[in-house]
Amino acid sequence: MHKTAKPEMPRQVGHYQILERVYETRWEDLYHATDNRTGKRVSLKMIASTLPSREQQRLFTNERDALKTLKHPNIVGYLDSGGEAGHFHIAVEPLDGTSLRTIIEEKRSLPLKQKLEIMAQVADALDCAHKAGMLHRTLMPREIVLTDGGQVKLHGFHLCRVLDPAPGQSAPTQYFIAKLRYPAPEQVKGENADHRADVFSLGAVLYEFLCYMPPFGEPNIATVLVKIVAAKPEPIASYVPNPPAELVTIVDKALAKTREDRYQSAAEMSAALRSLAQTL
């Protein structure tokens, strides 16, 4: 079976001159670019042209509308958008810095206090989205960028969904399976998810950030699905020497299988992370 070839990196998209590709995934590519109208540098998110045109439109609309609505220092700032099938693009403030995925893959040594502050900022961003009635749904390390100044910028809202959708409104699920390491048990089981599903995903990312290992293993699809629903991850003490008891409690509570046993809001988890950080 031949895989569909990725198109070459574009040189120009709308008024934007492409400088470099940051990453590419099956649903979107991220580039650094220059706005030819202003000469300013931006980051440009392009929905993958290999997707069916209807899905391209859905993913574009999701992220555009989310970023236009959400105004928070830890959510990437919206600038502009446009295009049509095969060329949908969203310009955002420059995502200069390092993704959490890169930090994890390189196993960079960061103080625990700094890690807790980074995750608290992610929780703050999620809390903003939840208060606006949105569920991120697919939180993962690649979508968390740590700027050179130490500020978190969250993006990746192309698969988000409205918590209380209007009758007949649905969210795309076709590409959800691609992010199997991070969904909550209720999402895996196809149940209706609320903001506490994002809390579980936040706990999964926190675990990987601390341990440099995903909590439910590398993605063999069937195995990961079963583990998310029914198995506990290895204790963080297997990877983190002498972790504070409070840290173990935070991770365990965020990763509770039942949503009622988790933090009941991202704000509550943020407060717990910062409370522990203050003791270090």
Helix, strand, coil: what percent of the chain each, to 5?
40, 15, 45
Percent of the chain with pLDDT over 70: 89
- Could you report the per-residue pLDDT of 59-79, keeping only the tens digit for each? 889 899 999 999 999 999 999
Q: Tell me, what's the pLDDT at 106?
A: 96
On average, the pLDDT of the chain sits at 87
Inter-CA distances, 57 with 6, 66, 107, 129, 271, Å: 19, 14, 37, 21, 37
Count CB atoms within 10 A of the CB of residue 71: 11
Q: Tell me, what's the pLDDT at 219?
A: 64
Mean pLDDT for 80-85 is 87
Q: Tell me, what's the pLDDT at 161?
A: 67
Q: Tell me, what's the pLDDT at 5?
A: 52
> For residue 16, which of 63, 104, 82, 65 has the smallest C-alpha distance?
82
Mean pLDDT for 102-107 is 95
Q: Tell me, what's the pLDDT at 173?
A: 47
Q: What's 63-127 look like in SS3?
A: HHHHHHHCCCCCECCEEEEECCCCCCEEEECCCCCEEHHHHHHCCCCCCHHHHHHHHHHHHHHHH
- As a whole number of angstroms, the distance between CA 217 and CA 213 comes to 7
Mean pLDDT for 22-30 is 85
Question: For the chain, which domains are there?
Answer: 12-92 (3.30.200.20), 98-277 (1.10.510.10)
- Could you report the per-residue pLDDT of 170-186, keeping only the tens digit for each? 444 444 544 556 888 88
- As a whole number of angstroms, the distance between CA 171 and CA 266 comes to 22
| Stronger pLDDT, 148 or 103, i.e. the higher one | 103
- As a whole number of angstroms, the distance between CA 268 and CA 123 comes to 9
- Of 31-45, 87-101, 157-171, 174-188, least confident by mean pLDDT is 157-171
Mean pLDDT for 159-174 is 51
Inter-CA distances, 259 with 178, 180, 193, 194, Å: 23, 18, 9, 9
Mean pLDDT for 196-202 is 95
Are the C-beta atoms of 168 and 134 separated by less than 8 Å?
no
Are the C-beta atoms of 122 and 154 separated by less than 8 Å?
yes
